[in-house]
Structure 1
Amino acid sequence: MAQTGDAGITNTQILDARTAETGSAWLPVLIIPLFLVAPALWNGYPLLQWDTGGYLARWYEGYLVPSRSTVFGLYLHFGEGSGFWINLAFQALATLWILQLTLRVLGLNQPLRLLWIGLLLILATALPWLASMLLTDFFAGPAVLALFILATQADRTSGLEKVALFVFTAFASATHSATLGVLFGLCCVGWIARHFVRDRISLSGLMQASGTIIAGAAMLLAANFALSGQFAWTPGGVGVAFGRMLQDGIVTQYLRDHCPQQKLKLCPYRNELPPTADDFLWGKSMFNTLGRFEGMNDEMGFIVEHSLAEYPLWQAKAAAAATVEQLMHVATGEGTNGWLPHTYGIIERYVPSQSKPMRAAHQQHWDIDFALVNWLHVPVALGSMLAVAAIVGHAIWRRRRDDVALLAATVTLALFGNALICGVISGPHDRYGARLVWIATFTALIAAVRYFSTEKSDKPLRAA
């Protein structure tokens, strides 16, 4: 006869419960990574984007290209032999790890909870499209969560987890300057906030988080030197900022005010500049005629510097408008269509073994349409941002400093910093918003779980 415990529960029942819990623990491990790469599996090949080819070519071409991280280029090169599926496997498993670890340090780690939260994120956000794509954008969201854990939850992680979080965040910061900028901004705010919430942000945790920025910068400089022989930062920031100012009309006005007194290459074209930065930098414009970045970098820098000094109010208004507009640009799938000639050419030139499966994929046959996807994703993204901002506002009003409020504040600052950096420098694009906004949805789900768990625990027990 089975023995009975104090609460009338038999050892057999306890064993069955533990067995069921162990079995359910494997469900998210098996299901979430598979569904995270479902878009790529359906496509028959990892998803590509306008910029993928530029990163992939860094290993082969041996010189620096504006806005193309050599660190991410090396990451792609590592996955060539597997048809880049090893990259997607890493991205899926890294996502699972970060989601699980975030829930665990917040005291919400239950396998089935992780499973349904993961599936909701896969259904309602850009997360699976990011995880299925060969693009730096994937790393932005997990890096913010990893930095949050390092800085505020150090006492709830093991030594090995701290090392893994450090390496992952450093690598993520080296993949894109905007990601590094967002993480750097969060660290700066963390040092300021620590004076007011010392009990929530440890000195050692904040030092480790800040160290990831230094390590990421060193990683990028080392990769640039190894591949190009130049100990230099990835170029292109000035050109991208110039494009945004051109789009706002500031460049045209500067040329009208100063030509022909200043002998600038763009003076003959001042009345026929393209309307957008993308048309100027990546289309068939006078930028090509004048030598692209190599021929125009000094002049673009000169115009950027002097227009900032001459039109400060206009620049400030344009920056504010670009930031707000970027916050609203959150649609999934920008640049993920069938027209990617540069990326196709790079793969066919340097990885010819991948030409056939790449050309056979649904994406290259224009079979991907994000209209229906964004019918759900856009309202969820905007609603999540409002929800997270409301959580922060409520926490400030009630003077709450719990972990969920701290996470919501981190995510809110990351979203704003991302909009500021990307909107002001590059100009508003959906891709920059979609890469990060899913962590707002994740945070809103965490807050909902915490709220309803507390409500349930507060209810008085009913008599049998």
Structure 2
Amino acid sequence: MNLIVRMPHSNIQRMRWVLVIAAGTLLLCVPALLNGAPFVYFDSADYLGMVSQMANLLAQKLDGAGALPVDAALVASGDEDYLVYTGRSVYYSGFVWFARKLLGLNGVVILHALALAALLVPITRLARPAAGPAFTQMAVLILCAGLGLLSSAGLFVSLVMPDIWAGLLILAIGLIVAVGARLGWPARLALGAVIALAALFHTSHLLLLATLTGLLALLMLRPSWRRHLGAWSVGVPALAVIIGLAGSAAFSLFVTWTTGRPPVSRPHVTAHLVDMGPGTQFMQDTCPESGFVLCAYADRLPTNWMDFLFADDTETGVFDTVPNHIKRALADEQARFTLATLAAEPWETVNGLLYDGVSQLWSLSVDDVPFTRNNADYLAGAFWEEIVEVTQASAIWDRPWMAPAFTRLTQVSTALAAAGLLVLALAGRLPRTGPLAVLILVCLGGLILNAFICGMLASPYGRFQARIVWLLPLLLGLAILSTFGPATSKGDAHERD
């Protein structure tokens, strides 16, 4: 198993691995290269600008300006509540800022791809640990090409969003669980850094990490599993959970210190319950007596969860149409509203949430993810001129059909990979023991947990699951390597790490 973690001894071998990782990075970036620019999404604007927003808040606080300047429209309405949202990670925004300083906007894509390519090296070695470097290097390149061209990984590597880090999180945990006790300190630190960064980059990643860590901790209660897993299997993810929670707390404290008010989380669960039905029924049955702030907008219900949160018209939208102090009140009452809805409509609520969690497993559309000319108004209003020009010059801008093509690619590659894994399992050719079997188990568990976390707490939405289903083609490739690849590469014995 040392083959998985030891560095090559000769400079020639090190250079070969550097070249392999560089080539793998390039292969994973192919969608962005063909597009002529990284892809952007609605939320990308927030990630591109949050560091500047936080810097402005700090500057105003240090200048002793007192109360923050508020838009004239808000002053006229008497609403001087300054909102900072928690749904966009300032830490990923810092990552984007750093990448852009290094290599421009393309730097975001390159660092995404580099992280995945580097992680694929030890993962590929799990499939054939006795094989020589040449075989492993070729396998890494094949996997990078397959993921970049034939799965959703290429799209999400090329997207200025933290989505790709959900898959990196699952892979890093899988490696820690599979071979954590035999990893050296550099490898443990590197994997821990990937997990911690993923936890800092999005709240859903932190929830996924905490759930996986909790399940691992439960397994550790059994002596047989405790001997197999080892302390590192739970210790590293648990430390990353602490780092993620500390990061969230630090952001909240910073916002509270600079603005005098805590950040606000959009009420996704409220929107989901309203869209699903029980929340709307509860409002219609109990308002205005129940006293919820949402009662004032019950005539707009039911409405789609995205319209509830983001639509700016008063017929279908709620959250984005109300003053800031009402937004804060809607967010603050979310937990109470959820519990009240559950108490009033227990069967409908639980059944609906479970159904949506299962539905998220195969909700894989990315039709509205990469921006095309259909998003011209939003692009012009939310993004900097530099980003607008680059996006409008990209290949996908005047070819909106390419977005649904990414959806078909994601759905087909996922279906074929799932079928391939099932065939190997039925044929008894899928690894059942050993590190690769553990990695496969962790990845499948991560796929299921991600669906339930996103589908239940938000709502089924294609991007939520499409961002990680590229794990299935990867697992199929690894299973094929382990089953049909050579145990050793002839002529490579003298080069072995």
Please confirm whether the aligned pair reaches a TM-score higher than 0.5, indicating the same fold. Answer: yes
Q: Which residue of 1 aligns with 2:482?
A: 450
For the pair 1:236 / 2:301, whether they are aligned, the reply is no
Q: Provide the C-alpha distance between the structure 2 equivalents of 1:116 and 1:55, rounded to a whole number of angstroms.
A: 32
For the pair 1:305 / 2:354, whether they are aligned, the reply is no
Q: Which residue of 2 aligns with 1:128?
A: 154
Alignment partner of 1:412 out of 436, 441, 444? 444
Q: Which residue of 2 aligns with 1:172?
A: 198
Alignment of 1:347-362 (within 5 A): 347-348=383-384, 352-362=385-395
Q: Which residue of 1 aligns with 2:98?
A: 78
Alignment of 1:329-344 (within 5 A): 329-338=363-372, 339=375, 341-342=377-378, 344=380
Partner of 1:57: helix, strand, or coil? helix
The letter for the 2-side match of 1:258 is: T
CA contact (8 A) 1:33 1:93 kept: yes
Partner of 1:136: helix, strand, or coil? coil
The letter for the 2-side match of 1:118 is: C
The letter for the 2-side match of 1:425 is: L
The letter for the 2-side match of 1:335 is: V
Distance apart, 1:331 and its partner CA: 3.3
The letter for the 1-side match of 2:351 is: K
Distance apart, 1:89 and its partner CA: 1.5
Alignment of 1:242-257 (within 5 A): 242-257=270-285
Q: Which moved more, 1:75-84 or 1:241-250?
A: 75-84
Q: Deviations over 1:288-334 (max 9, x none)?
A: 34336325223444322210222221111111110111001123454
Q: Provide the C-alpha distance between the structure 2 equivalents of 1:295 and 1:232, rounded to a whole number of angstroms.
A: 13
Distance apart, 1:31 and its partner CA: 2.8
Q: Provide the C-alpha distance between the structure 1 equivalents of 2:426 and 2:218, rounded to a whole number of angstroms.
A: 19
The letter for the 2-side match of 1:415 is: L
Name the CA shift for 1:180/1:23 in 2 (closer, same or farther; >3 Å): closer
Alignment of 1:42-191 (within 5 A): 42-62=34-54, 64-81=84-101, 82-106=103-127, 107=129, 110-191=136-217
Q: Which residue of 2 aligns with 1:380?
A: 413
Q: Deviations over 1:20-47 (max 9, x none)?
A: 9889756633432112222222333221
Q: Which residue of 2 aligns with 1:422?
A: 454
For the pair 1:288 / 2:320, whether they are aligned, the reply is yes
TM-score normalised by structure 1 residue count: 0.83
Q: Provide the C-alpha distance between the structure 1 equivalents of 2:145 and 2:454, rounded to a whole number of angstroms.
A: 29
Partner of 2:300: helix, strand, or coil? coil
Q: Provide the C-alpha distance between the structure 1 equivalents of 2:126 and 2:175, rounded to a whole number of angstroms.
A: 8
Q: Deviations over 1:61-105 (max 9, x none)?
A: 336314111111222222343432222221111110011121124
For the pair 1:215 / 2:249, whether they are aligned, the reply is no
Q: Which residue of 2 aligns with 1:324?
A: 358
Q: Provide the C-alpha distance between the structure 1 equivalents of 2:435 and 2:210, rounded to a whole number of angstroms.
A: 21
Name the CA shift for 1:249/1:145 in 2 (closer, same or farther; >3 Å): same
Q: Provide the C-alpha distance between the structure 2 equivalents of 1:399 and 1:125, rounded to a whole number of angstroms.
A: 23
Q: Which moved more, 1:186-195 or 1:121-130?
A: 186-195
For the pair 1:33 / 2:25, whether they are aligned, the reply is yes
CA contact (8 A) 2:430 2:479 kept: no
Q: Which residue of 1 aligns with 2:492?
A: none
CA contact (8 A) 1:333 1:370 kept: yes
Partner of 1:428: helix, strand, or coil? coil
Distance apart, 1:53 and its partner CA: 1.1
CA contact (8 A) 1:69 1:176 kept: yes
Report sequence identity in percent: 20
Q: Which residue of 2 aligns with 1:315?
A: 349
TM-score normalised by structure 2 residue count: 0.78
Partner of 2:38: helix, strand, or coil? coil
Distance apart, 1:343 and its partner CA: 5.5
Q: Provide the C-alpha distance between the structure 1 equivalents of 2:393 and 2:364, rounded to a whole number of angstroms.
A: 29
Q: Provide the C-alpha distance between the structure 1 equivalents of 2:175 and 2:408, rounded to a whole number of angstroms.
A: 32
Q: Provide the C-alpha distance between the structure 2 equivalents of 1:261 and 1:393, rounded to a whole number of angstroms.
A: 58
The letter for the 1-side match of 2:276 is: D
Name the CA shift for 1:368/1:265 in 2 (closer, same or farther; >3 Å): same
Partner of 1:261: helix, strand, or coil? coil
Alignment partner of 1:278 out of 306, 309, 322? 306
Name the CA shift for 1:198/1:173 in 2 (closer, same or farther; >3 Å): same
The letter for the 1-side match of 2:110 is: A
Q: Which moved more, 1:288-297 or 1:325-334?
A: 288-297
Name the CA shift for 1:35/1:453 in 2 (closer, same or farther; >3 Å): closer
Query: Can you give the 5+ residue segments of structure 2 that lack an aligned partner in the other structure?
Result: 1-9, 55-82, 490-497
CA contact (8 A) 2:447 2:469 kept: yes
Q: CA RMSD in A?
A: 3.3
Distance apart, 1:363 and its partner CA: 4.2
For the pair 1:345 / 2:371, whether they are aligned, the reply is no
The letter for the 1-side match of 2:352 is: A
Distance apart, 1:360 and its partner CA: 2.7
CA contact (8 A) 1:174 1:219 kept: yes
Q: Provide the C-alpha distance between the structure 2 equivalents of 1:355 and 1:337, rounded to a whole number of angstroms.
A: 10
How many residues matched? 435
Q: Which residue of 2 aligns with 1:371?
A: 404
CA contact (8 A) 1:385 1:437 kept: no
Name the CA shift for 1:388/1:319 in 2 (closer, same or farther; >3 Å): farther
